[in-house]
Structure 1
């Protein structure tokens, strides 16, 4: 556990000191047109505490998904902002973080260091990433209570993301 914490701390330090992005970054928010709703594909993944989480378990609720990895330059800031948003809207919103391509110990250590309390899911397969049209990280997606994707943010979070997402919840 100590090794994982040290490793994550070093990764975070490297990411903070890096001047160049580690992945393709396309910081664009994409509110999806209401004319043709896009149904959010169901999935079943293990959480860091070993529970099986299914998206369909949250039908009837607002759901915020964030696909992330600890090695991304902006992950510390984005995940902290998402945690603040999740806390502020916990009565109306379920937030799930989906870690892509990392060991559970790395994701767990990152969550501990950064203070992430919403459920973190691990090891999605390529089919899930393809179903959500994920070709680079990070990606943040809002799903309406009727199960439709209504918002996507590709790349680091836009400074206005909190107000944009809060507008859906109100």
Structure 2
């Protein structure tokens, strides 16, 4: 009799564990693919305008960049993939050939304080970046950002042309920027 109840208890526990794992898995889609799906829904649509103060106190307003290609990179100092991808964003911002063709780069910081960002930028030597501070996360919300880094390319027409979520997209970002700059 005891072996029947132990076997029954084991089977019941195993079934409960499998059911719980299945329910949990159904609520946990891949974070990158879920974030990409949401943000990529903006492709082809007008880029949400923003007017943010930069880390150095200036104004960064998307609508002031009409007719230009704008690369918007959402990032934070505490995010290892952001730290990995930010030097490439800095490099793009510093390429005179690209800026002369009309590229503007905004590295939008996610909800951090200016002194933290300034210290980070100085320590990493990222001197080419214009860094709007999204202190409340409203701009990230408008762009449906769920994971960082998220990089958005806005074409000369003011529409989102490409979205990249995560790091390791340097070649794809470069190609998207070149394509957007070539469009008239």
Residue 50 of structure 1, aligned match among 51, 57, 72: 57
Distance, in Å, in 2 between the alignment partners of 1:60 and 1:100 is: 26
Distance, in Å, in 2 between the alignment partners of 1:124 and 1:140 is: 18
The structure-2 alpha-carbon separation of the partners of 1:145 and 1:167, relative to structure 1 and needing over 3 Å to count, comes to closer
The structure-2 alpha-carbon separation of the partners of 1:74 and 1:126, relative to structure 1 and needing over 3 Å to count, comes to closer
Distance, in Å, in 2 between the alignment partners of 1:121 and 1:42 is: 13
Distance, in Å, in 2 between the alignment partners of 1:157 and 1:140 is: 11
Q: Which residue of 2 aligns with 1:149?
A: 160
Q: CA deviation at 1:28?
A: 6.6
1:166 aligns with 2:175: no
74-83 vs 145-154, which moves further? 74-83
Residue 97 of structure 1, aligned match among 107, 114, 125: 107
User: How big is the alpha-carbon RMSD for the aligned residues of Structure 1 and Structure 2?
Assistant: 2.5
Q: Which residue of 2 aligns with 1:106?
A: 116
Q: CA deviation at 1:125?
A: 2.8
The structure-2 alpha-carbon separation of the partners of 1:42 and 1:159, relative to structure 1 and needing over 3 Å to count, comes to closer
5+ unaligned residues in a row in structure 1: which ranges?
A: 1-23
1:135 aligns with 2:135: no
Task: Could you list the structure 1 runs, at least 4 aligned residues long, displaced by more than 4 angstroms after superposition.
Answer: 24-29
Deviations 1:32-71 (A, max 9, x none): 69xx821001111110111122111111111000000011
Deviations 1:81-102 (A, max 9, x none): 1111222212120001110021
> Normalized against structure 2, the TM-score is what?
0.69
Q: In proportion to residue count, which structure has more helix? A: 2
Distance, in Å, in 1 between the alignment partners of 2:107 and 2:121 is: 10
Q: What SS does the aligned partner of 2:156 have?
A: coil
Structure of greater relative contact order (alpha carbons < 8 Å, 6+ residues apart):
1
Q: In proportion to residue count, which structure has more strand? A: 1
Q: CA deviation at 1:123?
A: 2.7
5+ unaligned residues in a row in structure 2: which ranges?
A: 1-30
Distance, in Å, in 2 between the alignment partners of 1:146 and 1:60 is: 6
Contact 1:98 1:124 in 2 (8 A): no
> Normalized against structure 1, the TM-score is what?
0.74
